[in-house]
Structure 1
Amino acid sequence: MSPTSTDRVLLPTASAAESLAALRTMLRGHRLLAAGAFVVLAAGTGIGLLTAPLLGHIVDRVVDKRGSDALTVPLVLLVAVALVRGAATAVGSALVARLGETVLAAVREQFIERALRLPLERVEAAGSGDLVSRVTSDVSMIAKSVRQAMPEFTRSALTIVLTLGGLAVLDWRFLLAALVAMPVQVLSVRWYLRRSSPVYAEHRVATGALQHQLLDSIGGVRTVRAFRLNGTHAGLLEQRSASARDLALRGIHIVTGFFSRLNLAEYVGLAAVLGTGFALVDNGSVSIGTATAAALYFHSLFNPVNAALFLLDDAQSAGASFARLIGVSNLPAERAPQGGDAPVDGSVKVTALGHAYASGQPVLADVDLEIRSGERVALVGASGAGKTTLAKLIAGVHEPSKGAIALGGVDTRELGPAGVRRAVTLISQEVHVFAGPLAEDLRLARPEATDDELRAALTHVGALEWAEALPEGLATVVGEGGHRLTVTQAQHLALARLVLADPPIAILDEATADAGSAGARVLETAAVRALEGRTGLMVAHRLPQAATADRVVVLDQGRVVETGTHDELVAAGGRYAALWAAWSDSRREVPEGA
């Protein structure tokens, strides 16, 4: 049993203040790079502003009929300005992009580092789609902004500021005329931000919900089909897709309205500058060339202003994505161990254990269980009896609602999450094959392992034969984009990693359930060998696997109702005996070898 999608508690999103504080911290070590980028871009932009006065100067010379020789120097200067501005812009943009990529790398690394250390209980409560959407679409949005929006925005902002300064140098009245457009622009921006911020934030959440539903439906496609839930899941996907689509369309509608208002601001401003120029030329305050330069200055603001304000669209999206990444990065670190003791052996003691995923709906109640070091115990019970929940509590995936768990004589609260992970390894039926060489996949369990140790681990679980038969043996690239392993091979790989990790306690949660009959028998043998020399707790999907255990613990409705060896429980004629009889009858009805 697990929380339903309606019970999801999304991972946190940072506030604006937290996001700015995180950004300042990341930039603190790159002040020289930031200053260099600003200086180079400012110099290039300032030099580029000489274009309008030079063109105005050419107009004045033409009006004065100075002849073509008088235009040579201004034209040469125009070419020089263009070349210098282009070079400075290229260098400055490269420096800005480098700064952005550095910050992006820091954000990504900080997020991944913290995400990998999140308690699994927290990830399950949020739903895997929430975390996946942050590490995919949110990172992609920030990357796009860093590589495209940030350099453009920096150039545009500098152009706007320096151009307004250039208008003031020509004549302060031109600056006032240009500023007539500002109220329209300010009101447009306020209108846009007020409407777009919530839409983009909601769209991020809706995208996460959609990805969660996709993972849920596609990942559990066999269960969906088995229970004829195709229509239900298709409806949920359609509903969440429609929600994400509608929010995206609302965003586009807001952007369209925003730019129509900016076009009005351009018209108002240019009309004011041209009118001012006409008046000043008419009364002899400025020359036609100066008025031309002022008009060119204001016209040159169209693209930078529109770009800067348009990039608010990307900035809003990137800001929302950044806040979602920082929200996870700011989560508190794992609880530190309260004591310095380490488990003395592989024993497990569960005392008065209770757990509930939702208030008032207990999954386990007053469970007492002792497992001796080196003992192999099978957990058996009907679906929903609490087997997997008990296994996850012992593995530290969840914290119990009440009661206590001791590993090797040490309370798990004293060990802390890291200590529990060192003592317990959990292997479920959902085994992941990481992309890369098979040898490196194995070394995730023990990075320093030699090739001989890898082969020994594979031999121990009976997997060396197929591993060496791969196209390049242990060097074969497996996983996404590589050689696809079968379900049985993937589980074999997980059991070999267990041998390499060598924890004192191992938990197998239905680790052979997806392999089919023949594969399950192979994996059951491999599991028994992998558990040699350590305490083993098996959530038994196949009762023959339970029959090989030292002891069987039967759960029903969250309570331990029977415990003993296979033979003892069959002889007792209780719940386990009924389950065994039902299993034996079903096997007799299935043809041999099925």
Structure 2
Amino acid sequence: MTTPSHPADEAAELLPIATPARTRAALRALIRPDRGLALTGVGVLVAATAVGLLVQPLLGRIVDIVADGRPAGDLTLPVVLLVAVAAVQGVTTTIGLTRIARLGETVLARLRERFVERALDLPADRLERAGAGDLTARVTGDVARVAEAVRSALPEMARSVLAILLTLGALALLDVRFLLAALLAVPVQLLTARWYVARALTLYADQRVANGAQQQQLLETIGGAVTVRGHRLEEQHTERGAGRSRKAVELTMRSVHLVLGFYGRLHIAEYIGLAAVLIAGFWLVRDGAVSIGTATAAALYFHSLFGPVNAALVLLDDAQSAAAGLARLVGVTDLARPGTGKAGPAGGARPSPVPPQRTGPRREASRAAVAVDAVSHAYGPGRPVLHEVSLTLRPGEHVALVGTSGAGKSTLARIVVGVQQPTAGTVTAPGDPEDPSVVLVTQEVHVFTGALAEDLRLARPDATEADLRRALSTVHALDWAEALPDGLDTVVGEGGHRLDPARAQQLALARLVLADPALAVLDEATAEAGSAGARVLERSAEAALAGRTALIVAHRLTQAVAADRVVVLEAGRVVESGPHEELRDADGPYAALWRAWSGSRTAPHP
């Protein structure tokens, strides 16, 4: 039993965060494929905003008609034009915002795809150092922030900026002195924006980190509840969680005070600008430079700026929050991907961690030999796990890895598959570099929500129903699969028909059969089942591995008995290697393991 780890410095372990420059570059790259959509969306919005600016002069015209005592019939044309402006502006605004929204959703989808692609490729040890909380916070909270900005802030920001620029131009056309009066508010607004941005980006980034640390603490406490209670660490974990929650609340309150100060400064800017425009209008009308209607239009123009200026500045809040989230997402998408058929950090060829989609028969097992040469691995300074391990899997050979907990079996298995990079040494899996054909099955099997047949087709999308039935039959799972309420069309996974651990593992083994790899790695794939379920799974695994090279991390020594060769690991080193019978009779480490295991069983060993 071990106590859950608690790094002293969480920030040093977290996944990276992209710099502002890198975030902007990544955003440009995401938008680049849809430049046409962006340009047409902005163009239509410009037209819509320009048409809308005709409202103020038309209202000013109405004021002049009334002030001059003209006939009521003179009001007909400006009123009709006001209705026409409203209709045209409504239609063009809808079209423009729709295109901007489509652009945003397309970019967001592209970002999500790249994030998921990189996250799935991250080495296991890197994720373990960062903790599940950091990645969870990014894939939930940060994606939600960016999505919210794309769906609401982006269209509104585009419209607001265009309205500001065109309205200031319209003020200049009425009289440049109106524009100069309105610009008196700009220094206050710019200082407000600068004051806010300087504080917001760091604050929101700190909030994301604090929320990630809080989630990580909750996940560790809940996931390790049995260990926490066993070591009487409830008070310690509660205090640790409370401390991280206090940090998150403190940062939230700081952001509230920041926003309140932001709004207060904006109201001062509005007062200064409107007062200046009204005073300028008074003097210009008194001097006969402009009419009352023109002064009215200028005041209405500046008043109409309240909405877009405040919206643009207020949206800085959403923009800064989204920018902080985007930087955390880009930080993950920029992580170097593990080698897939390319040289790893130690210079060795790496097998792909993702099984390819297969459309033809499996390669011959003779092309699947694996060579592990002087591989070492450490999860950090002072935490070595493997020490110069060398191992060769001959074509078609089944090798069982055995050893006590912590010996490095699972780490070696993940390095062979390619989901984890070694600190030193090389792993070579000969074969077609575009079809490395390597599959890993662990004790933690995820059943995806959907029809059982579609879950199986994850391994081979082109598989026919006959292929699915053959795969299930191979692993002795066809009977229970056909007995489900809707057979292979039964919905399984979350919210559907729940599969027990043994059946979930058979499903994973059936996927392995469909993927048809030349090299298969089983990492304690029968560990989650009880004794009766383990016997069924061992038969299923034996059938699934027939005719292919296999590395088996043995949870039960019956798997070692059935293997062609047994490799014993102790403290990250190979200490024995040979057939089961030879090692059992050699009175070495394996013999000791065998005596301890067979002595704990009521039935005689094979």
Please report the TM-score for the alignment, with normalisation by the length of structure 2.
0.87
Paired with 1:369 and 1:143, the residues of 2 have a C-alpha distance of: 48
Q: Deviations over 1:392-438 (max 9, x none)?
A: 22222222223333445x8xxxx98x76xx34322111111122221
Give the one of 337, 357, 361 matched to 2:379: 357
1:35 aligns with 2:39: yes
- What amino acid maps onto 1:395 in structure 2? V
Greater CA drift, 509-518 or 5-14: 5-14
Counterpart selection for 1:469 from 483, 488, 492 = 483
C-alpha distance in 1 between matches for 2:337 and 2:408 = 29
The separation in 1 between residues aligned to 2:482 and 2:205, in whole angstroms, is 50
2:505 is equivalent to residue 491 of structure 1: yes
Amino acid at match of 1:562: E
Q: For structure 1, which runs of at least 5 residues remain unmatched after alignment?
A: none
- When residues 73 and 522 of structure 1 are mapped into structure 2, their CA distance, relative to the original with a 3 A threshold, is same
2:276 paired residue among 272, 281, 290: 272
Q: Which amino acid aligns with 1:313?
A: D
- In the other structure, the counterpart of 2:298 is 294
Asked if structure 2 preserves the Cα contact closer than 8 Å seen for 1:504 and 1:535, the reply is yes
Residue 15 in structure 1 maps to residue 19 in structure 2: yes
Give the match's secondary structure for 2:420.
coil
- Structure 2 distance, partners of 1:237, 1:48, is 54
**Paired residue for 2:99, among 90, 95, 99?**
95
CA distance 1:510–1:217, shift in 2 (3 Å): farther
The offset of 1:529, in angstroms, is 2.1
Equivalences for residues 28-67 of structure 1 within 5 A? 28-67=32-71
Of 156-165 and 320-329, deviating more is 320-329
Q: Residues 584 and 29 from structure 1, CA distance in 2 versus in 1: closer, same or farther, beyond 3 angstroms?
A: closer
Which residue pairs with 1:181 in the alignment?
Answer: 185
8 Å CA contact retained: 2:122, 2:338? yes
Aligned counterpart in structure 1 of residue 401 of structure 2, from 365, 379, 383? 379
Paired letter, 2:558: P
TM-superposed deviation, 1:378: 2.4
Could you tell me how far apart the structure 2 residues matched to 1:320 and 1:563 are?
A: 52
Secondary structure in structure 1 of the residue aligned to 2:447 = coil
- C-alpha distance in 2, partners of 1:569/1:504? 27
The 1:480/1:488 distance shift into structure 2, 3 A limit, reads: same
Is 1:146 aligned to residue 150 of structure 2?
A: yes
Shift in Å, 1:97: 1.2
Q: Post-superposition shift, 1:493? A: 0.7
62-71 or 489-498, larger mean C-alpha shift: 62-71
Task: State the alpha-carbon separation in 2 of the partners of residues 535 and 197 from structure 1.
Answer: 52
Corresponding residue of 1:156: 160
- The counterpart of 1:533, out of the listed 543, 547, 551, is 547
Q: Does 1:424 align with 2:424?
A: no
Pair 1:531–1:454, CA change in 2 (3 A): same
Matched, 1:551 2:565: yes
- Identify which of 415, 420, 439 aligns with 2:453: 439
Q: Which letter maps to 2:424?
A: K
Q: Which of 522, 528, 539 is residue 536 of structure 2 equivalent to?
A: 522
Q: Is 1:577 aligned to 2:577, yes or no? A: no
Shift of 1:124: 4.0
Of the structure 1 ranges 514-523 and 259-268, higher mean CA displacement relative to structure 2 is found in 514-523
- The 3 A distance-change label for structure 1 pair 548 and 434 is same
CA offset digits 1:128-166 (Å, max 9, x no partner): 443443333333222211211111111111111111112
Map 1:63-82 onto structure 2 (within 5 A). Answer: 63-82=67-86
2:180 aligned with 1:166: no
Q: 2:423 aligns with which of 382, 390, 401?
A: 401
2:324 — aligned with what?
A: 320
Amino acid at match of 2:342: P
Letter in 1 for 2:562: T
1:297: Cα distance to partner? 1.3
TM-score (norm 1): 0.89
Change (3 A) 1:340 1:259: closer
Q: 1:119: how far off?
A: 4.2
Q: Conserved in 2, the CA contact under 8 Å of 1:3 and 1:125?
A: no
Deviations 1:290-331 (A, max 9, x none): 222221111111111110111111111222223333333344
The Cα RMSD (Å) is 3.1
Amino acid at match of 1:45: T
Shift of 1:72: 3.2
Cα distance 1:26–1:557, how it changes in 2: closer, same or farther (>3 A)? Answer: closer
| The 10-residue stretch of structure 1 (82-91 or 58-67) with the greater mean CA deviation from structure 2 | 58-67
Q: Contact 2:439–2:512 (CA<8 Å) still a contact in 1?
A: yes
Q: Deviations over 1:99-144 (max 9, x none)?
A: 2222223323333344444444544444444344333333322221
Q: Does the aligned pair in 1 maintain the 2:121–2:419 contact within 8 Å?
A: no
Which residue does the alignment assign to 1:85? 89
CA change 1:405–1:52 in 2 (3 A) is closer
Distance 1:287 1:535 in 2: 91
Q: How many residues align?
A: 582
Q: How does 1:251-270 map to 2 (within 5 A)?
A: 251-270=255-274
1:182-331 to structure 2, matched below 5 A, reads 182-219=186-223, 231-331=235-335
CA contact (8 A) 1:3 1:358 kept: no
For residues 78-104 of structure 1, give each alpha carbon's deviation from its aligned partner in whole angstroms, at most 9, with x where no partner exists: 222222222222222112212222222
SS in 1 for 2:485: coil
Residue number in structure 2 paired with 1:509: 523
What secondary structure is seen at the aligned counterpart in 1 of 2:288? coil
Report if aligned partners of 1:468, 1:474 keep a CA contact under 8 Å in 2. Answer: yes
Structure 1's 53 and 182: CA in aligned 2 closer, same or farther, altered over 3 A?
same
Cα distance in structure 2, aligned partners of 1:576 and 1:357: 27
Structure 2 vs 1, CA of residues 237 and 540 (structure 1 numbering), >3 Å: closer, same or farther? Answer: farther
Q: For residues 520 and 82 of structure 1, what CA distance do their matches in structure 2 show?
A: 73
Deviates more, 1:111-120 or 1:516-525: 111-120
Taking structure 1 as reference, are residues 223 and 539 closer, same or farther at Cα in structure 2, changes over 3 Å only? farther
Secondary structure of the equivalent of 2:461?
coil
| CA contact 1:42–1:158 (8 Å) conserved in 2 | yes
2:474 to 449, 453, 460: 460
Q: Distance in 2 between matches of 1:185 and 1:541?
A: 67
SS class of match (2:585): helix
Once the two structures are overlaid, the 10-residue window that deviates more, 511-520 or 142-151, is 511-520
SS in 1 for 2:70: coil
- For 1:227 and 1:392, the matched residues in 2 are separated by 31
What is the rounded CA distance, in whole Å, between the counterparts of 1:368 and 1:79 in structure 2?
A: 82
TM superposition shift of 1:185: 0.4
User: Do the aligned partners of residues 457 and 203 (structure 1) sit closer, same or farther apart at CA in structure 2, a change above 3 Å counting?
Assistant: same
- Name the amino acid aligned to 1:551: R
Deviation at 1:541, TM superposition (A): 2.2
Query: 1:508 & 1:340 partners in 2: Cα distance?
Result: 18
Contact map agreement 2:557 2:597 (CA 8 A) in 1: yes
- 8 Å CA contact 2:396, 2:548 repeated in 1: yes
Mean Cα deviation higher: 443-452 or 453-462: 443-452
> How far, CA to CA, are the matches of 1:534 and 1:229 in structure 2?
47
CA 1:229 to 1:523, structure 2 compared with 1: closer, same or farther past 3 Å?
A: farther
Q: In 2, distance between residues paired with 1:31 and 1:337?
A: 34
- Residue identity matched to 1:478: V
Check the 8 A contact 2:338/2:419 in 1, yes or no. no
CA apart distance, 1:488:
1.4
Distance verdict in 2 for CA 1:237–1:493, change over 3 Å: farther
Query: Structure 1 228/346 Cα, relative in aligned 2: closer, same or farther at 3 Å?
Result: farther
